[in-house]
Structure formats: structure tokens, C-alpha cells
Structure 1
């Protein structure tokens, strides 16, 4: 199946800094955007410049990563790669999605108030789709099909699943989304968001991507932590209340949820940042304890890469090429 590929720049607010978004999206036979089975969204980390290593330079490029990600996905899925909107020198600062981060992008805490990450993801994706559809429409205006609704012939009842991946510093966005998803089940029933069914807005107006914060959260089927790590605590979720919220979410909806922790010795065997391994082990243990109640609907796995090799910056990036997300 053909694909639309390209890079867009998306601000979340008027005059705000733009996110650089690379996309590889499936096209229907008439060259309009097709409804995918899933949208996979990878959030990247800090910048590395002047490494002198071609592989690191290649794997730092969002457009290259979008093509790499789409080849790893099963079925007819869309790949999105999102760079932080702001950088403090080399450091990625996801302040628009994780409001608690400091000047260099390290999180002080994860707070679900306002569902900022989910709302931001919905905003980014809908803005991108609208811009891409406009490009396609302008290119096909001479054809009568160019005036048709680009999704009219592709309607289906269920919207696509969302797969969330965070690489390195991009893991802070994964943690924020996990916290927001957990918060839904912790709120009083009268105030909670119904995540058991797709919303009417999504079904009738935009089947390509989730269109609101609740749509994003209800569509998430997988969280992938890809060699995440920070120079402070917070690379993984260790808050018991958040994990309890995730367990309650799985128990009280018909959803299945998958967590995959991918790592290399670069992060999991760093003697100077031993908290990364401890946080990873704590999160996995808490999830495993809760998964026993979920009748197989909460799936967990841990995948190690380059075991036995000396820690290096190169392996930290090469995990993107070799990781198994299926």
C-alpha cells in the first residue's frame, strides 16, 4: 500500500514553538488518507550533535525514524515521530505535554490535571491530518475525487488503536500519558470520562486519529519504553497510586493494555545512574502484581538488547533499529 510521507511543524498554541512531526501514513487506492488499524507515535529524546557516528546521526532524524517505525508495525498502521518543541541546548523540553518539567526537561512529578499530554497529542495529530488532507486536496483538485470527503469511503465502527513509544527523554511523555490514563479510573464516577467506547465526535468526523484527550486515552493499547533514562528520578512510573489506577482501568473497561520495557546496558547497567534500573524493576513488579487480577488483559514484557556489550551511546540509538515492538 502506498504511503504519504513528510515532515510538518505544529504549534499547540498561537505563537508557541512548533513540534517537528515526521509521518508515514497509509493511502487508499484513490490516494487519499486511509483509516489505519493503528497510529504509532514515537516521542524522541535529547539531541546529539557532532558525534562523528553516521548511525547516530541517521537515527536522530525524525523522518528516517518514521519510515523505520512503519516497517516494524503489523497491519495497515500509521507512524508518527514527534520531536520536542523546545530544546535547552541538547536537552529536549516537553513542557507543552508535561507541564512539570524544569528548564532542561527533567520532570519534577507527573500530574494528570487537565490531561495535558493527551490533549496535546490529539491537537498535534488532528492539525497534521488537516494539513496533509489540504495538501492532498490541492494536488488532486483537477480530479473530481478531490472534492470528496477523504474518509467518506473508509468508514468503520472502531477507530484505530494508539501505540505510544518514548525513546530516551521521550519517556517522560509516556509517563505523563500513563498517569493521565490512570487518573480516569481514580476519579469519582460522575466525573470520570467514559473510555469504554469511542466518542461520537471521533466516529462521525475523524476516523483517522483520536480527536480529543479522552479519545487519545481510550484508544491507547500499548506503551513502549525504549531505553528511557534521565539524569534524575522519573524515568519510569513508581507511584503505587498510578499503577493502581492502571489496574482499575483495565479491570473496569473491556480494554486490553500492553506495557513493553526495552533497554540496553547504556541505561540499565549505568553505575552512575543506578536509579534507572531500580525504577524499571519497581514499575515492572507493581504491574506484575496487579496483572494477576486482570485475567490476561494486562500484558507485560521486558526486552533486553546488546547484553554483554560495553555500554555506549551508539547502542542507545541502535536499539531503535533492532527493537521488536510486535
Structure 2
């Protein structure tokens, strides 16, 4: 499968002065030339900026286009990969204001609230606008007419893997809060709650499609300078559990960490919050008939915490 790899700046709302920088690696069908329907979409939310480290490893793994390529290598060549950077940076601090309305000036959330479904609405709109712009770019680079519609569809709708790196984990917290408070499907079916209508889509075009497509949640060395790095609301986890129980397909929660975050004696709440979320998920797992899976992986065990390992986890994390 051929691929288009690029970085675009996307204006989410017409009156907004901020732009999202999004890198992607998209699959292309060979005949006719068009965007292929992927087996899944891996969507990665970045964290704060780290500048002028003079560390080639950190610099390489801070490049969103390189991260997109890594995601394809991990999740498979039939997926699409998206790497989303915050639209606003207060100095080095990433601020996902459209996704989490309660964040302060440094992008730290005061709470996670599903009211209005801001994260899922913003994500669906962002992906849709990115895809439209990418089609224009691809059309401008190829000689033959661009078909603009998917070909050779997969037998199942694309699955979604959500990954939050560092502060990007706050977006994951907001998204799964909204997932928990979203409308329950009337009953499980073989399409995992998706419509059986043959309306092939490349990225989710509604929050319902997004929620129904979620198959994996990855917390990738997340952490904050305040509390809120992990979701610890029992009510929200109970709602998530209830929703998963009504699906035909399950969801995997994977926790990837390094001593940089999980063993930081100055920010002990990070490990405590992670442990609390894992406990809550495990307590509800028995209600879901095997549909909820939890996995924890510590990388660089026994090594001294450092900034380089915080970025290296992107390259070495095991998503299996």
C-alpha cells in the first residue's frame, strides 16, 4: 500500500486564531488512486514542547511526522496514523482548550466534564477537516484525477486507537469521560454498535461513530505538575463499564510508563492516580464478560528517571 505522509495546520473553527498542527500517514489505494479505507486509525495526542535539548533522540521523537511513522510500524501498514499537537502553547505548556474547556493557562485541567461533548466533537471535526485538506494536497501532487472516495473497503469498520502522551493524556481522560456519558447503544451487534449500512468511512464522521469504533486506549507516560493526569472518578468508570458491556467488541486499556513519571518522588500523585484508575478498571472488568482488558508496562525499570526515556517510550512501547 502506498502512503501519503505530511503535516498540515488546521483551523478548527472559522473565528479561531489558533491552528492545530497535525501530522499523518495515510494509506492510498493503488487503483484507482484514492485514500484507502483503513483497518483502523491511531490518533496520538502530544504534550508540552521541549526545545533546544541538543539531544538527538529527544529531537527525533519530538517530530510529529516521525511519530506518525512509528505508529504505522506498530499498528500495521493498513492503518492511518494522526499526531495532534495542541493549538496553543503558553511557553512550553500545551493547552487543549477546545477539547478540555476547564484547563488553566498552562493546560492543566480543573475537571473532566462530558457536558457538550467538547473533545469528541472537536476530534471528529479536526479529522474531517484534515482529511479534506489532505485530499486537496494529494490532488495537487498527482497527475491523474483524484477519485476522492475510498476503494477496496475492509469487511469491518475502522477501529480507533487513542494514545495520549505526557500531557496528551488529559485529552484521553476527557474523551473517555464523554464516552462514559454518551448514549448507550440499544443492543450489541456484530458490528460493535455500528450501522450495518455500507457507508464506508475513512475517519469517524460523528461522535457516535468515534465512540463505537474505540478499541484501544493507550496512556503513554502521562503526567502533570498538578493532579489530574489519570481519570479517577468511580462514577465515570462505572459508566464506561456499563457502556462496554453493551458492545459486541471490547476495549483494551494499556498503561505505558517510565521511572520519569511513575517513580517521580516530587510528583507522587502520578503513580497514585495511575494505580487508582487501574484498580477501578479491574473492579469493573468482571461485569463486562471479558470485554474490558487492562495491561500495565513499565519501561526502563531500575534506571534513573530522565527526559530521554520519556520520549524513547514512544519508539519502544509494546502495543500488542
Partner of 1:192: none
Partner of 1:163: 161
The superposition leaves residues 157-199 of structure 1 with CA deviations (integer Å, 9 ceiling, x where unpaired) of 63201100000000000000110001125x798xxxxx95335
1:44 deviates by 0.4
Partner of 1:24: 25
Partner of 1:78: 80
Are the aligned partners of 2:119 and 2:171 in contact in 1 as well (CA < 8 Å)?
Answer: yes
1:113 deviates by 1.0
Quote the Cα distance in structure 1 between the aligned partners of 2:273 and 2:248: 29
Q: 1:287 aligns with which of 277, 281, 290?
A: 281
Are the aligned partners of 1:162 and 1:219 in contact in 2 as well (CA < 8 Å)?
Answer: yes
Are the aligned partners of 2:8 and 2:130 in contact in 1 as well (CA < 8 Å)?
Answer: yes
TM-score (structure 1 length as normaliser): 0.92
Q: Secondary structure at the match of 1:281?
A: helix
The Cα RMSD (Å) is: 1.9
Are the aligned partners of 1:158 and 1:198 in contact in 2 as well (CA < 8 Å)?
Answer: no
Would the alpha carbon gap of residues 299 and 57 (structure 1) be closer, same or farther in structure 2, given more than 3 Å must change? Answer: same
Q: 1:136 aligns with which of 135, 138, 157?
A: 138
Residue 7 (structure 2) pairs with residue 7 (structure 1):
yes
Q: Secondary structure at the match of 1:27?
A: strand
Partner of 1:258: 252
Are the aligned partners of 1:159 and 1:203 in contact in 2 as well (CA < 8 Å)?
Answer: no
Quote the Cα distance in structure 2 between the aligned partners of 1:148 and 1:250: 37
Quote the Cα distance in structure 1 between the aligned partners of 2:204 and 2:104: 29
1:255 deviates by 2.6
Quote the Cα distance in structure 1 between the aligned partners of 2:287 and 2:55: 47
Quote the Cα distance in structure 1 between the aligned partners of 2:9 and 2:157: 25
Would the alpha carbon gap of residues 50 and 147 (structure 1) be closer, same or farther in structure 2, given more than 3 Å must change? Answer: closer
Q: 1:99 aligns with which of 91, 98, 101?
A: 101
Residue 303 (structure 2) pairs with residue 309 (structure 1):
yes
Residue 194 (structure 2) pairs with residue 198 (structure 1):
yes
Are the aligned partners of 1:133 and 1:150 in contact in 2 as well (CA < 8 Å)?
Answer: no
1:217 deviates by 1.3
Partner of 2:37: 35
Are the aligned partners of 1:223 and 1:259 in contact in 2 as well (CA < 8 Å)?
Answer: yes
Quote the Cα distance in structure 2 between the aligned partners of 1:158 and 1:19: 30
Quote the Cα distance in structure 2 between the aligned partners of 1:211 and 1:244: 27
Quote the Cα distance in structure 2 between the aligned partners of 1:292 and 1:28: 42
Partner of 2:178: 180
The superposition leaves residues 210-238 of structure 1 with CA deviations (integer Å, 9 ceiling, x where unpaired) of 00112111111110000000011111111
Greater helix fraction, Structure 1 or Structure 2: 1
Would the alpha carbon gap of residues 293 and 149 (structure 1) be closer, same or farther in structure 2, given more than 3 Å must change? Answer: same
TM-score (structure 2 length as normaliser): 0.93
1:260 deviates by 0.2
Are the aligned partners of 2:162 and 2:216 in contact in 1 as well (CA < 8 Å)?
Answer: yes
Aligned residues: 314
Matches within 5 A, 1:191-230: 197-199=193-195, 203-204=198-199, 207-230=201-224
Quote the Cα distance in structure 2 between the aligned partners of 1:199 and 1:134: 29
Partner of 1:90: 92
1:149 deviates by 4.2
1:134 deviates by 2.1
